[in-house]
Each structure stands twice: as C-alpha cells, then as structure tokens.
Amino acid sequence: MRQSLNSKYSTANEVLQNHLQSLEKHGFTIAPNVLTKDELRFLRGALDNIYATFDPERDGLRKVEGYHFASNLVNKGPFFETIFLRSPVYDLARHLLGEDCILSSLNSLEPLKNQGSQQLHRDGPPAPDSGPIVANSLWAIDDMNKENGATRLIPGSHKTDEPPPDNEAGVVHAEIPAGSVIITNAHILHGASANPSGRRRRVMHGYFTRRGLPQQLEQRKYLSPEVQARVSPLARKVLALEDD
C-alpha cells in the first residue's frame, strides 16, 4: 500500500514538473481531463444561460462584439465558487505568481460563426525582471480546433517583449478536447482565432495575478453578500475578499 501511494505521489510530482518545464520553455502547458463529462454537460447549459442574461453593469465588464461573453462567473452558482482552485490549475498559478496569488477574474468567451479572430496580445502589464505577474487558464468546454476558433499562441514569446508579428510567424493552435485546460504565463503572445464553422467553442478563463495587484474584476465589489458569506476560507483568500 505504502509503495503504491509513494509511486502515485511521485507520478503526480513528475506531471507537475513537466507542466512547469513546459511553462518555463514555451510559456504554456496543457492539462487534459481537468473537467469530467458530467461537469462539461453542466457547464454547457450553465454558460448558455449566463451568456443569455449577461448584464455589463451587474457583471463588471463590457461585452465583446462577435462573441458570447460572460464575466463575474464566481457569482453564478456554487460550482464556480471553487473551480478556480482545481488542480493542477491553481498549483501552477501559485508556482508562477507566488503561494498567495489571487484570482483576477473568471470569464467565458465564445467566438461566433465567422467572427472572433483576436489580435495577438499579452495579458496585463509587461512582466518585471522579478518574473511573471499574470497567469491565465483557458478551460475548453467544447472540443477546440482551427475550425471553431482554437486559441493560438506563440511558444516562447513570454520571454520577449517584441510586438506581435504581422504574418503570425510561429503561431500554434491549441487543438484540444473538451475538459482540457491551457495554463499560460499570460505574458505570452496569444489570442482567440476565427470560428469559420460556427461549431460551439465555449472557453472559460480563470485569470490570476500577484497579490497586491488590481484584479480585472474586483471580486469584493461584484460578488453578492451571500456568496461572500459562504465561500471557503481558501476561496476568500484567493478572491482577495479581505484585502485592504
């Protein structure tokens, strides 16, 4: 028993080390099977309802034309109150940004048919010499490929501060099955691509930053008193509900 437990832990540690190496070298890594089939079924229905009732005043961010969009997801039901703590996403965010990193926002984006091509961009302000200050996690709720708007990335571009190339040189498309999560050093050049097929491509974004920096959505302001009262002590900390 002890031996099999030990080998389970060493395998988990190897997986984590591989993710960290990939983040260091390429600026992103892909974790498969983070969401179960039941969770995907639930999320597809939940996100469609949330897209349909999106309110920029209540949910803090503007809707982006050409997409289904949702923000303030932590306020949309118990499932969303813990999902950003899931392994290996939160573990990798802590490795990149420090043990006390915080959630900046939890949003969702879906490019509509023949729309959705974003400029390649870096999230957040430039990284200081001390290391990354933003990390993102892109949760595929539907299978994602070049036909329905896969996220594109330029591997290694988190190590430069060069502007995006005009000709998309070096771009790779993250063609991944539903349930996988792309975790990025969010200083990498990346963006959603166009959705020529119109096939569903819902992605949830769990965006993290270093403690002390502003959140994209100030959780303390946008979460209802009921949600703020019931989330776990760890979630309170990661949502920065008690920060000055």
Ligand X SMILES: O=C(O)CCC(=O)C(=O)O
Q: Which of 72, 63, 69 is nearest to 217 (CA)?
A: 72
- 93 versus 109: smaller Cβ distance to ligand X: 109
181 binds ligand X (CB under 6 A): no
Residue 180 is a binding residue for ligand X (CB under 6 A): no
Measured between alpha carbons, how far is 197 from 187 in angstroms, rounded to an integer? 29
Per DSSP bridges, beta strands 151-153 and 172-173 are antiparallel
With CB under 6 A as the contact rule, the residue among 60, 124, 191, 206 that binds ligand X is 191
135 binds ligand X per the rule CB under 6 A: no
Nearer to ligand X, 93 or 203 (CB): 203
Distance of alpha carbon 187 from alpha carbon 189, whole angstroms? 7
**By CB under 6 A, residue 190 contacts ligand X:** yes
Per-residue x/- marks for ligand X, 83-112, CB under 6 A?
--------------------------x---
Residues 202, 108: Cα–Cα separation, whole Å: 7
- The residue among 101, 189, 182 whose CA lies nearest residue 137 is 182
Give the closest residue to 71 by CA, choosing from 168, 167, 215, 201: 215
User: Is position 186 an interface residue for ligand X (rule: CB under 6 A)?
Assistant: no
**Distance from C-alpha of 31 to C-alpha of 153, rounded to nearest angstrom:** 16
Does 151 help bind ligand X (rule: CB under 6 A)? Answer: yes
The CB-of-96 to ligand X minimum distance in angstroms stands at 17
Q: Is the dihedral of CA 8, 10, 13, 14 positive or negative?
A: negative
Interface with ligand X, residue 223, by CB under 6 A: no
Q: What is the DSSP string of 86-126?
A: -TTHHHHHHHHH-TT-EEEEEEEEEEPBT---PPPB-SSSP
Nearer to ligand X, 134 or 203 (CB): 203
- Residue from the set 47, 73, 203, 217 that interacts with ligand X by CB under 6 A: 203
Taking CB under 6 A as the binding criterion, the range among 18-26, 32-40, 50-58, 186-194 that sits at the site for ligand X is: 186-194
> Residue 133 Cβ, how far from ligand X at the closest point, in Å?
16
- Listed ranges 46-54, 127-135, 188-196, 219-227: which one lies at the site for ligand X (CB under 6 A): 188-196
* Range in contact with ligand X (rule: CB under 6 A) among 19-27, 45-53, 163-171, 185-193: 185-193
187 binds ligand X (CB under 6 A): no
Residue 240 C-beta: closest distance to ligand X, Å: 21
Which of 227, 205, 206 is CA-nearest to residue 101? 206
Omega of the bond prior to 32 within 30 degrees of 0, cis?
A: no
What are the counts of helices (DSSP H) followed by strands (DSSP E) for the chain?
7, 9
Q: Does 43 bind ligand X (CB under 6 A)?
A: no
| Interaction site with ligand X (CB under 6 A) | 109, 118, 138, 151, 190-192, 203
